[in-house]
Structure 1
Amino acid sequence: MRSHAPVPVPPGVEAVHKAYLEELGPKERAALLSWTGFTTTFAAVRGITYSIRDNKGPFRNLSVGGAHLHHYMWGIALLSGVGAVAVHGQETHRRHPAVALSYGVALALIVDEFALLLDLEDVYWAKQGRVSVDLGVGLVAVGGTVFAALPMLQRLLRRPAAH
């Protein structure tokens, strides 16, 4: 008779939350939230932008008075808000998880359209240039998120397998 190795079970929400709180200090949690916000926003914005460009899905460009509102504008506005909290906010507000998350979201909105900020409109949508930028930033984003979560992930991987 063969003995079967236990099938690994992914950690539950409680185990992940406990590892998050116990393995990461406040600065590490802020870094993880920033990277997670950046990565998630960058991926979502790329998907939405490609769907708009291909005229698929529910999303459309937003314009006011004939002028297109690029999403880097929303990123700059959000980053300004984060900066205001960092400079003028009370310590409890500066350390709030929403500030770290908002920082990552704002940077993704700006970085995604960085070529437009440099007035490189012709290369922004050139297939080879756009794909390489998407992959490069995407890999950096995922790598940074994983790196920031490493202590937590190591703990979750060390936990005994459920039977």
Structure 2
Amino acid sequence: MGHWWFRNIVEPGKLPLLLALAAFVLTFAFTRAVTRLIRAGKGPFRNVTPGGVHVHHVVPGVCLMVVGGFTTIAGGRQGVGSGIAAVLFGAGTGLVLDEFALILHFGDVYWTEEGTKSVEIVIVTAALVALILGSFLPFGVNELGPDEARDRLNVVRTAGLNFLLALIALAKGKVRMAVIGVLVPFVALFGAVRLARPNSPWARRCYRRRPRARARAALRARRHDQRWSGLRRKAEHLIGGAPSR
């Protein structure tokens, strides 16, 4: 374990990325717990409203991202300072993306159905950062043997092909399947070969003169949403809290 840790995390300089990811996930989880307690009127936490203005936590999040980002650029990827900067940046990103829906809709939609987009973007971000962190790219690793170099290159080729399939799935409007497919083999392939969603870029370009394909895509999308939307909403509400009616 120690050898793996040094070869794949410390030596390539990925320790700050790991710290940033951990700070990002923990900050999001803590923030959601606090906001749910505030909403329920429990615990010592209250909204910050100086002068009657509700200060959303995206504000300190932006400040932490600015400090952590510029400190990282100034200090490089080594040393204690880079680790502290990574934690600040990760925590700030967690605060900002927890209110992503408010920025997107330019309104206080935190406890509405639109607010669940924040949960989605947090999951997507954590998945992509974990992919970068867990990849076995040979960059930054010294003295690779022939077998290790071959194994790593095979992983890179497989991941590259999987990523290409994920891009196709994304163009077909299957965002969640594309994200999961980046991490889990064959999911992206499944999304890439199936019909595109009717409003996706792929459908607008490739189904423009194929009315039967458009009709099949619309029917399949409707059936898929009827089958899975309820389960997806329950999972999002479990993580982020149920919206207000």
TM-score greater than 0.5 by the shorter chain: yes
CA distance in 1 between counterparts of 2:105 and 2:40 reads 23
CA distance in 1 between counterparts of 2:84 and 2:13 reads 13
Correspondences of 1:85-124 after superposition (within 5 Å): 85-89=71-75, 96-121=82-107, 123-124=109-110
Can you list the C-alpha shifts for 1:22-62, whole angstroms capped at 9, x where unaligned? 43135322222111111111111111111111212221111
Would the alpha carbon gap of residues 132 and 118 (structure 1) be closer, same or farther in structure 2, given more than 3 Å must change?
closer
Correspondences of 1:4-153 after superposition (within 5 Å): 19-24=4-9, 25-89=11-75, 96-121=82-107, 123-126=109-112, 128-131=113-116, 133-134=118-119, 136-144=120-128, 146-147=130-131, 148-149=133-134
Would the alpha carbon gap of residues 27 and 92 (structure 1) be closer, same or farther in structure 2, given more than 3 Å must change?
closer
How many angstroms does 1:94 deviate by?
8.4
- What root-mean-square deviation, in Å, do the aligned CA atoms of Structure 1 and Structure 2 show? 2.9
Can you list the C-alpha shifts for 1:132-156, whole angstroms capped at 9, x where unaligned? 542x2343355346432466xxxxx
CA distance in 2 between counterparts of 1:137 and 1:90 reads 28
For CA contacts below 8 A with separation 6 or more, give which structure has more relative contact order.
1
Runs (4 or more) in structure 1 with deviation over 4 Å come to 87-95
Would the alpha carbon gap of residues 118 and 104 (structure 1) be closer, same or farther in structure 2, given more than 3 Å must change?
same
CA distance in 2 between counterparts of 1:39 and 1:137 reads 12
Question: What TM-score comes out, normalization by structure 1 length?
Answer: 0.65
How many angstroms does 1:91 deviate by?
7.1
How many angstroms does 1:102 deviate by?
1.4
CA distance in 1 between counterparts of 2:57 and 2:90 reads 14
CA distance in 1 between counterparts of 2:51 and 2:24 reads 30
How many angstroms does 1:63 deviate by?
1.7
CA distance in 2 between counterparts of 1:120 and 1:79 reads 20
Which secondary structure does the structure 2 equivalent of 1:124 belong to? coil
Q: In the alignment, is the contact (CA less than 8 A) between 2:76 and 2:82 conserved in 1?
A: no
Larger Rg: 2
